[in-house]
């Protein structure tokens, strides 16, 4: 029974955590699109499928049957060039409607499938509205006395496609921007208001039969120098140890019971560098707002570097070992929630930062990939073909899902060991 409750707790906090991340990321896209006057159809938490929806005046909000991930559906984001008959189709519906796909196909003398596609696009652009299950009429905003070109220009004006390139890019990167801003603000607030713990120079552990034990080091000793060079922090000590080798004799300056001392140790081998055999204690550090903000940007740079390492063969295995999938993140979320609000807020900030860093990569269908396509289309002076756009997005999605699947596998293996 306790195992079942534990699993339900992990699932609950996993859903809550990913829902928060989705609201942050997709909310950025929503706000940017609405700021530029673009029609937004839906804001959904979860994967596309059956959903509970609430309809407001301008759009729908809801949660789907699989509440992992989410999306915001913005008018005019279909790939490829516009169909040259869109204006004629809108004019036909406005003047001769209501029309269904069969009627539009006859009016334009085109195949039924093409007529269906035209109606689908115009409905997405909010230029036509359904009057029954199959037929459409022009939306109230359409000027029925205008010509086809004027009608289509007016309809396009409230779509993503109708925006200037820089505005489209802004909409695409807005989700990433919200992720990064949320993370940086959270780190700054937590560090400046509550501080954080870091490894101290005071030793908490000395491994038995290690060079440190042989040299007489004890828990409570404070490391102050290595071979005459001052140790500023535990990280500094680790960096200095990384340049040593097995068999090296090192002189350690320490403070024991307020008394300065020096000891000599002969290092053993560990991973190609010298091994001493000590572990640090922990100390609480207070930050000013400026220092906290600087530390937040440092964390941001570290996360971006970690994401890039996923795509380097030499660092892939190490990156996977330190990463988690939806399974591992759900476990972490449950543990953080149990630990308290600060721990949970810190985890949300880290995940938001990671989500933003991952999404800015120039890989379709990620936001960075979409930005790359926008830039390419701007340089080329025309949209990429629909088939090419879909193929590139499918290839990118396959790469990402392969990585996600592998991370899930490694998480499961960690849990069953």
Strand bridging mode 229-230 / 51-55: unpaired
pLDDT, residue 204, reads 95
Whether 23 and 91 share a structural domain: no
Q: How confident is the model at residue 255 (pLDDT cuts 50, 70, 90)?
A: very high
Average pLDDT estimate for 1-25 = 84
Query: pTM (2 decimals)?
Result: 0.80
**Same domain for 293 and 398?**
yes
Tell whether 381 and 391 lie within a shared domain. yes
Residue 80 resides in a domain: no
Of 285, 319, 350, which one is at a domain's C-terminal end? 285
Residue 33 pLDDT: 96
Residue 51 lies in a domain: yes
Residues 297 and 390 in one domain: yes
**At residue 351, does pLDDT exceed 80?**
yes
Question: Which CATH number does the domain housing residue 201 bear?
Answer: 2.30.42.10
Considering the domain architecture, whether residues 346 and 213 belong to the same structural domain is answered as: no
Mean pLDDT throughout 228-256?
92
pLDDT at 195: 86
For 98-150, the DSSP string reads SB-HHHHHHHHT--HHHHHHHHHHHHHTTSEEESSSS-EEE-TTS-TTS-HHH
The answer to whether residue 303 is domain-embedded is yes
Q: Same structural domain for residues 297 and 323?
A: yes
Q: Which of 259, 285, 311 is the last residue of a domain?
A: 285
Query: Tens of pLDDT along 113-169?
Result: 999 999 999 999 999 999 988 899 999 999 999 999 999 999 999 999 999 999 999
pLDDT above 90 covers what percent of the chain? 57
Residues 261 and 378 in one domain: no
Residue 78 lies in a domain: no
Same domain, 101 and 136: yes
Phi, psi of 17 (to 5 degrees): -65, -50
Q: Which residues of 268-280 are buried (b: 16+ CB within 10 A; e: fewer)?
A: beeeeebbbbbeb
Q: Are residues 186 and 218 in the same domain?
A: no
Out of 116, 140, 160, a domain closes at 160
| 385 in any annotated domain | yes
Residue 77 lies in a domain: no
pLDDT tens, 185-233? Answer: 999 999 998 888 889 999 999 999 999 999 999 999 999 999 999 999 9
Say which range, 8-22, 103-117, 124-138, 383-397, has the weakest mean pLDDT.
383-397
**Phi/psi of residue 286, each to 5°?**
-100, 140
Residue 173 lies in a domain: yes
CA 386 – CA 393 distance, rounded (Å) = 11
Same domain, 281 and 293: no
In this predicted structure, what is the pLDDT of residue 186? 94
Asked whether residue 137 falls in the same domain as residue 254, the answer is no
Instruction: Supply the range of the domain harboring residue 297.
Output: 166-194+288-416
How many structural domains comprise the chain? 4
Report if residue 76 sits inside a domain: no
Work out the average pLDDT over 371-392: 87
- CATH number at 116 reads 1.10.10.10
Both 143 and 171 in one domain: the answer is no
pLDDT at position 117, please? 94
DSSP 32-66: HHHHTT--EEEEEESSSSSEEEEE-SS-EEEEESS
Which are the contacts of 344, defined by CB distance < 8 A and separation ≥ 6? 333, 336, 337
Q: How many CB atoms lie within 10 A of CB 262?
A: 11
C-alpha 78/C-alpha 124 separation (Å) is 9
pLDDT of residue 417: 59
């Amino acid at each position: 029974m306790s195992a079942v409750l534990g699993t339900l707790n992990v699932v609950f906090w996993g859903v809550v955590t990913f829902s928060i991340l989705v609201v942050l990321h997709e909310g950025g896209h929503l706000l940017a699109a609405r700021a530029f006057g673009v029609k937004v159809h839906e804001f959904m938490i979860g994967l596309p499928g059956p959903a509970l929806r609430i309809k407001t005046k301008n759009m729908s909000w809801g949660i789907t049957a699989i509440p992992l991930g989410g999306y915001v559906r913005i008018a005019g984001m279909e790939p490829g060039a516009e169909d040259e008959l869109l204006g004629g189709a809108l004019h036909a519906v406005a003047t001769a409607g209501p029309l269904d796909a069969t009627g539009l196909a006859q009016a334009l003398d085109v195949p039924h499938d093409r007529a269906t596609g035209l109606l689908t696009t115009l409905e997405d652009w909010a230029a036509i509205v359904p009057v029954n299950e199959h037929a459409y009429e022009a939306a109230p905003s359409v000027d029925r006395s205008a010509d086809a070109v004027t009608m289509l220009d007016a309809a396009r004006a409230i779509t993503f496609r109708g925006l200037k390139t820089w505005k489209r890019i802004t909409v695409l990167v807005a989700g990433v921007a919200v992720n990064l801003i949320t993370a940086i603000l959270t780190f700054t607030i937590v560090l400046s208001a509550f501080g954080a713990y870091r490894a101290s120079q005071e030793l908490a552990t000395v491994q038995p039969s290690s060079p440190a034990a042989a040299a007489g080091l004890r828990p409570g000793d404070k490391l102050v120098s290595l071979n005459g060079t001052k140790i500023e922090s535990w990280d500094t000590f680790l960096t200095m140890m990384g340049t040593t080798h097995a068999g090296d004799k090192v002189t350690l300056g320490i403070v024991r019971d307020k008394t300065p001392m020096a000891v000599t140790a002969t290092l053993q081998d560990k991973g190609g560098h010298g091994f001493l055999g000590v572990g640090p204690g922990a100390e609480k550090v207070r930050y000013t707002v400026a220092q906290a903000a600087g530390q937040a940007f440092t964390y941001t740079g570290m996360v971006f570097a970690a994401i890039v390492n996923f795509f380097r063969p030499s660092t892939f295995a190490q990156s996977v070992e330190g990463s988690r999938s939806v399974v591992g993140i759900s476990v972490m979320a449950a543990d953080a929630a149990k630990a308290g609000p600060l721990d949970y807020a810190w985890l949300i900030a880290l995940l938001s930062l990671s989500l933003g860093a991952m999404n800015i990569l120039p890989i379709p269908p990620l936001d960075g990939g979409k930005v790359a396509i926008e830039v390419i289309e701007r340089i080329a002076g025309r949209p990429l073909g629909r088939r090419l756009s879909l193929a590139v997005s499918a290839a990118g999605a396959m790469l990402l899902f392969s990585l996600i699947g592998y991370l899930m596998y490694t998480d499961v293996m960690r849990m069953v060991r």
